[in-house]
Amino acid sequence: MPKQSFDPTKLNIEDIKIGGGEEAKNGDTVQVHYTGTLIDGTKFDSSLDRNQPFSFTIGAGQVIQGWELGVVGMKIGGKRKLTIPASLGYGASGVPGTIPQNAVLIFEIELLKKL
């Protein structure tokens, strides 16, 4: 079987587990657990390490655009892997000391609930 190709200019969404609850949509405030890694596997952040879920409102500009696009359509209880190009992440600036410039980001996000 051929390997799945990755386009570094586009958001790639892979459902790891389809949830059984309500679907997240624009305008919803949601609570998630997440782990963020660089393409080489280096972990840069995780709500699981802090044992503290993260909440944000979809479409309100509180998170990177890759999250805005990638969380819409998830169902409560679901888990997704988002491979986010730099253009939908932190771009050319990156996050000094944490995320390099023009970095592709990989997030595993679990949708815990709507608030």
Among this protein's residues, is 107 annotated catalytic?
A: yes
Check 54, 56, 84, 90 and give the catalytic one: 90
Q: Are strands 79-84 and 54-57 parallel, antiparallel or unpaired?
A: unpaired
| DSSP per-residue letters across 86-112 | GGGTTTTT-BTTTB-TT--EEEEEEEE
Do 107 and 26 form a contact (C-beta atoms < 8 A)?
A: no
Check 56, 58, 64, 84 and give the catalytic one: 64
Among this protein's residues, is 16 annotated catalytic?
A: no
Check 34, 58, 106, 109 and give the catalytic one: 34
Check 13, 28, 45, 76 and give the catalytic one: 45
Check 54, 56, 106, 107 and give the catalytic one: 107
Check 13, 28, 44, 76 and give the catalytic one: 44
Among this protein's residues, is 28 annotated catalytic?
A: no
Among this protein's residues, is 90 annotated catalytic?
A: yes
CA distance 77 to 50: 20
Catalytic residues: 34, 44-45, 64, 90, 107
